[in-house]
Chain A
Amino acid sequence: MGDPMKIRAAVRGSVTEVKVLMQHPMETGFRKDDTGAAVPAWFITEVTAKHNDRVVIHALFGTSISKNPYLAFRFKGGVPGDRVTLNWVDNHGDQRTDEATIT
């Protein structure tokens, strides 16, 4: 189910700027805990962003991305009141979808 994302989307001229803060441990699988046991890999593999129903970004994430990832991007078009939907899927098959309204 995952923890909620924080999404901000605002129109800047002819483009919409989206800033997303996700909550995820992003474990690489290379770390060891205090007892010396490997901490299992657990990270986001895919991120999809939609403007209303149109996919504007589809990204493959991996272990080089930090814990609680921050993603900022721009796309052409979009007017205040439109919907921006973000979805991530991790290597456990867990996923999370959140949406925001463009301001």
Chain B
Amino acid sequence: MAPHSAMGCRRAVLAAAAMLAALVSAAGEPDRTSEAIAKYREMLDEANPAEFDEARGAQLWKTPRGPRQVSLERCDLGKGPGVVKGVYAELPRLFADSGRVQDLESRLISCMTSLQGIPEGDIVARPFSTDAGRSDIEALVAYVVGQSRGATMNVSLRDPAEHIAYALGERLFYYRAGPYDFSCATCHSQDGRRIRLQDLPNLTTKLGAQRAYTTWPAYRVSQGLFRSFQWRLNDCFRQQRFPEPVYASEATIALTLFIAVNAGGAVYNGPGIKR
């Protein structure tokens, strides 16, 4: 009797140990996956093809173009005409000359129309690169954001117009609509979620917003193309099955500002590289 019960006891212990091991490995699974993804990212970081877009953008920046044949070297991105260093860490912001809160892309459009005389329609006709052709504005974005690497995110809410934009952005973030009744918050307000292998940042937390915002714009390996922040938002709306947002519109700028303000204090580290 005694040996039997000892055996039974041992068996129970073994079973419990096996179950514990199973539980531990099940709990360990997502970590190992994330670890592998992190390692893959690290490898990609060594060789970011966004560098080629940065180089193309730098060339476009100083080349006289448009009907007036002038370069963008007098373009004011917020720190005075011609200053590129660190500007992305303080965008979007209110610009006195246009009277609007502008993000990098809408500001580039302003410069291209006012300085170079390129019609706005020609610029926004190809805002995003495709296999068929590269977008000039995306290359310019790559160049400008690259010049802010290492700068600390500091988007201000000094002006009432910027407060209004922030409030609008916040509202849009939580606004549920469309055939799926989705909002940005549906995917981006919980920790530890992902779509397939892509981590979904929780943009309602400081850390989540910081990690996401400081690594965009980025080169997408799966598409083989450099992507701007306007593209990121445009594609999020597509995935939610919303109507397509107007390029560089008040709504997309407000949403950008909302996330950029939440990412305040982080060191900007773009252009990034994504799967």
Contacts and interface: CB of A to CB of B under 8 A. Distances in A.
A72 B42 CA distance: 14
B47 A70 contact: yes
Interface string A39-83: 100000000000000000000000000111010100000000000
A94 interface: no
B239 to A, nearest CB: 20
B52 A68 contact: yes
Nearest to B52: A23
Interface in B128-145: 131-132
A6 B224 contact: no
Contact of A68 (B46, B49, B131): B49
A3 B131 CA distance: 16
Contacts of B131: 33, 39
B89 to A, nearest CB: 26
A70 B47 CA distance: 7
A6 B53 CA distance: 13
A23 B51 CA distance: 11
A21 interface: yes
A45 B154 CA distance: 47
B221 interface: yes
A19 interface: yes
Contacts of B46: 19, 70, 72
Contact of B47 (A3, A21, A33, A67): A21
Contacts of A23: 49, 52
A47 B132 CA distance: 26
B224 A3 contact: no
Given A19-B46, A33-B131, A68 B224 contact: yes
A19 B46 CA distance: 8
Nearest to B49: A68
9 contacts: A6-B47, A21-B51, A21-B52, A23-B52, A33-B131, A39-B131, A67-B224, A68-B49, A70-B46
Interface of A: 3, 6, 19, 21, 23, 25, 33, 39, 66-68, 70, 72
Interface of B: 46-47, 49, 51-52, 131-132, 221, 224
For the complex of A and B, list the 9 residue pairs with the smallest distance between their C-beta atoms, beginning with the closest: A67-B224, A70-B47, A68-B49, A21-B47, A23-B52, A19-B46, A6-B51, A19-B47, A21-B49
